[in-house]
Structure 1
Amino acid sequence: MTGSVVPAPAFDPWSPEFVAWPYDVFADLRQNAPIWRFERTGQWVFSRHADVDALLRDRRLGRTYLHVATHEEMGHQAPPDHLEPFWTLNNNGMLDREPPDHTRLRRLVSKAFTPRTVERLAPRVREFTDQLVDNLLDAGSDGSPVDLISTVAEPLPVAVIAEMLGIPDADRHLLRPWSADICGMYELNPSAEAEEKAIRASVEFTEYLVALAAERRKNPGDDLISALASVADAGDQLTDPELVGTCVLLLNAGHEATVNVTGNGWWALFRNPDELARLRAGEVGYGTAIEELMRWDTPLQLFERWVLEDIEVHGVRIPRGEEVALLFGSANRDPEVFADAERLDLGRSPNPHISFSAGIHYCLGAPLARLELATSFETMVRRVPNLALAETPRWKGSFVIRGLDALQVTV
């Protein structure tokens, strides 16, 4: 296998056509340029499942390099000062920390974010879902189209994570806009407008959470912010920036992907009516079906890692300080791992997709996401048996966090 430094014009993450269906380009990359340097971002792009999975677990790579070197020592410029609010927020979440800081943060957060915490939320998840499906049925009772994304897919995970964190009802409308603006910075080469939105959201969200955490320390409740504010282990506890970074990470990761799995998943089912019929007939379980929907149209398409020391992959040398881009969506369609990989098969088992990542950064919120998705799809299938597509949807402009702008349906 060899690396490629030649242009691949078809790989264009800013193109609406590419965002709408990147999978043919991925197939070409896996076959002809599985290790390829994308000059527009300066990243080495990996598209095969075995390579993506291995690099996610390789400790010679990291989500950050600041625990081993400065920006200058790694051959990079420090971010401009005006982006400091975003990077302070981002760098204090455990996703962008490496051991020993990551180990410490994950241990502390895991003490509060337990399987029992998720299990205790199950009745509320069902209650929230039923309320949202009621809204969907009411809005579409006259036969007019209703947007499944804004009516069900978006409100559900926001309501759940707000309930878990203990965000007061009157403030919950703030969360989705803050999250969307912050997540704009995770796209490739974000625009100046995206930067400005992310900075403003970072400042506002940080100020809000610092004040709320201070109040919960004085008057703790049965919620995750109270738990995180008081959690300790061998005298160790979260600092305010770490608590804020953790809460923002839980919100962003805990609902952006879930929204997109719901929207992308229903769009996939409408395009594959035989598979939808299997789900409605009870021939496949919801847990198995959701794993396949996450594989077939992956909500997080690309994940990045920094090279902390020189590596060589299949004869291609990638030096320290370079960045790799791991194509989750391509890895999840690799025919070397998934038989008939282009086909949606809701009963697929085993299904070693990497939509929740792998290694030490495997998604801590995966059990909560699975609970929300299983509840959502089961409730929709049971209560809206005539759900149908009203019009072909449009995709948002983002590639990394890839989802529909809207999904108009009739009930």
Structure 2
Amino acid sequence: MAAPAVPELAFDLNDSAFIRDPYPVLARLREETPIFHEPRWNKVFFARYDDISAILRDRRFGRSITHVLSRDELGWPPPDPRQADFDHFQDNHLLDAEPPKHTRLRGLVAKAFTPRRVEALRGRVTAIVERQLRDLAGVGTFDLVTRYAEELPVTVIAELLGFPHDLRHKLRPWSADIVKLYELGYSPDDQKRANDAVLEFSAALKDLVAYRKTHPGDDLVTALAEVEEAGDKLTTDELVGTCILLLNAGHEASVNGTTAGVRNLLLGRSAWRQLADDAHANPARPSAIFESATEELLRYDTPLPMFERWVLEDVEVGGVTLRRGQEVALLYASGNRDARKFTNPDTLDLTRSEGPHLTFGLGVHYCLGAPLARLEMSVALHALARAFPELRLADEEAPPAYGKGFVIRGLTRLDVVES
């Protein structure tokens, strides 16, 4: 029996109401149309956990397609020269690479970006958040996004890379401009700003790489420049692409996860009180509850709600046939609320042990920076709960101030009050 055709369904990812609260729509999709083709974006969407998990683990799907089919075979136009620098960056990092290139890049990067190096940052992460909280003491009302959440990951990545102090103020704007091209429906202005940001960031990193080759330091750029496997080393372009990717991915996941997480904790009040009490009882270091809370917050309100894959060869998933060259969109935020996988998925449960959630992906493309994102988020939550146990939202009735994109979904402002 032939597999059923994929139903057509118009789906506006960029609708502001959907971005503010996508979960009711995603719940209907999971139950009524868990697999559908969206004609505007020409992608097959998947909304259920098991289907998404299966695709992420299946090597017949990939982050890129041009190693299997040419641009002509795909019906694509020639590369757009207006984003040549952005495309060059995309070609030289592991996120969009496929084996054997991905295997090589990930192996080399993993030798430098080790769990030990990440854990060694704990003291510095703690010092950064404690300094921020001292500056906020007595302020009263403040914006959690700009005054707390944004500075931490940018500072940590800057110190991890050994990035020059006089250029660190540019990292956040560069990241914000670059990630615009990961959204669906970006503008020509977005395209220019992203390309310019890649060009400027790459130039700064190349200067740093050249300096570190003659003046090595205790930083990731030095480690990446020196790492070697059977005579193979990262090229300068690959090293630069890896560093840009670390900033973009680390910044977006950490900031969006922390700010949405705090908002959800404060809406529940009892959840915030639970963390505040534990932080008071264990002031020196986050206890296990902060580790499970971090995982639950990343599941409950996914900071990067959608990722895409290309179909590398004909395959059947969820009872439908996908053809080589098609693109699929995986709704992580929907899969993370799937009752087939998680008990009472719309309830925030800080002690939940079910897993794994989809937020960092699965399979060969599992997020290499996940340990750093988890460390930053748990330390930031612990310090905030210890410093401000009576923290509350300035206006619980106000609609959340989300940005314009769904693929990278984050609050642009979150006003909170210390008492």
Structure 2 residue 325 is the aligned partner of structure 1 residue 321: yes
Match of 1:69 in 2: 69
Letter in 1 for 2:325: G
> Paired residue for 2:277, among 271, 276, 281?
281
Letter in 2 for 1:7: L
Match of 1:231 in 2: 227
CA distance in structure 1 between the aligned counterparts of 2:299 and 2:100, rounded to whole angstroms: 31
Structure 2 residue 276 is the aligned partner of structure 1 residue 272: no
In structure 1, the residue corresponding to 2:74 is in which secondary structure?
coil
CA distance in structure 2 between the aligned counterparts of 1:272 and 1:297, rounded to whole angstroms: 14
CA distance in structure 2 between the aligned counterparts of 1:288 and 1:2, rounded to whole angstroms: 40
- Greater shift in the superposed pair: 159-168 or 278-287: 278-287
> Paired residue for 2:167, among 171, 187, 192?
171
Match of 2:349 in 1: 345
Letter in 2 for 1:400: V
Match of 1:188 in 2: 184
Superposed counterparts of 1:232-251, under 5 Å: 232-251=228-247
Structure 2 residue 376 is the aligned partner of structure 1 residue 360: no
Letter in 2 for 1:291: E
Match of 1:369 in 2: 373
In structure 2, the residue corresponding to 1:347 is in which secondary structure?
coil
Q: Alignment identity in percent?
A: 48
> Paired residue for 1:384, among 388, 398, 405?
388
In structure 2, the residue corresponding to 1:356 is in which secondary structure?
coil
* Residue 221 of structure 1: how far off its partner (Å): 0.7
Q: What runs of 5+ residues in structure 1 fail to find an aligned partner?
A: none
Match of 2:130 in 1: 130
Match of 2:7 in 1: 5
Letter in 2 for 1:5: P
CA distance in structure 2 between the aligned counterparts of 1:285 and 1:366, rounded to whole angstroms: 18
CA distance in structure 1 between the aligned counterparts of 2:5 and 2:306, rounded to whole angstroms: 19
CA distance in structure 2 between the aligned counterparts of 1:20 and 1:378, rounded to whole angstroms: 26
Letter in 2 for 1:183: V
Letter in 1 for 2:202: T
After superposition, the C-alpha distances for 1:302-343 in whole angstroms (9 at most, x for unaligned) are: 000011111222331211111000000000000000111111
Structure 2 residue 144 is the aligned partner of structure 1 residue 148: yes
Letter in 2 for 1:250: L
In structure 2, the residue corresponding to 1:281 is in which secondary structure?
helix
CA contact (8 A) 2:266 2:391 kept: no
CA contact (8 A) 2:275 2:382 kept: no
CA contact (8 A) 2:336 2:357 kept: yes
CA distance in structure 2 between the aligned counterparts of 1:160 and 1:250, rounded to whole angstroms: 11
CA distance in structure 2 between the aligned counterparts of 1:194 and 1:5, rounded to whole angstroms: 32
Match of 1:407 in 2: 414
TM-score normalised per structure 1: 0.96
- Greater shift in the superposed pair: 276-285 or 32-41: 276-285
* Residue 281 of structure 1: how far off its partner (Å): 2.8
| Runs of 4+ residues over 6 Å off in structure 1 | none
Match of 1:332 in 2: 336
CA distance in structure 2 between the aligned counterparts of 1:306 and 1:72, rounded to whole angstroms: 16
CA contact (8 A) 1:3 1:35 kept: no
Give the aligned CA root-mean-square deviation in angstroms.
Answer: 1.5
In structure 2, the residue corresponding to 1:220 is in which secondary structure?
coil
After superposition, the C-alpha distances for 1:28-64 in whole angstroms (9 at most, x for unaligned) are: 1111111101111110000000000110111111101
CA contact (8 A) 1:35 1:45 kept: yes
* Residue 2 of structure 1: how far off its partner (Å): 5.1
CA contact (8 A) 1:74 1:320 kept: no
In structure 2, the residue corresponding to 1:325 is in which secondary structure?
strand
CA distance in structure 1 between the aligned counterparts of 2:274 and 2:109, rounded to whole angstroms: 39
CA distance in structure 2 between the aligned counterparts of 1:382 and 1:88, rounded to whole angstroms: 44
In structure 1, the residue corresponding to 2:383 is in which secondary structure?
helix
CA contact (8 A) 1:75 1:321 kept: no
CA distance in structure 2 between the aligned counterparts of 1:247 and 1:274, rounded to whole angstroms: 39
CA distance in structure 2 between the aligned counterparts of 1:67 and 1:134, rounded to whole angstroms: 52
Superposed counterparts of 1:1-80, under 5 Å: 4-8=6-10, 11-80=11-80
CA distance in structure 2 between the aligned counterparts of 1:314 and 1:108, rounded to whole angstroms: 36
After superposition, the C-alpha distances for 1:139-164 in whole angstroms (9 at most, x for unaligned) are: x1xx3x21111011000011111110
* Residue 65 of structure 1: how far off its partner (Å): 1.5
CA distance in structure 1 between the aligned counterparts of 2:142 and 2:297, rounded to whole angstroms: 22
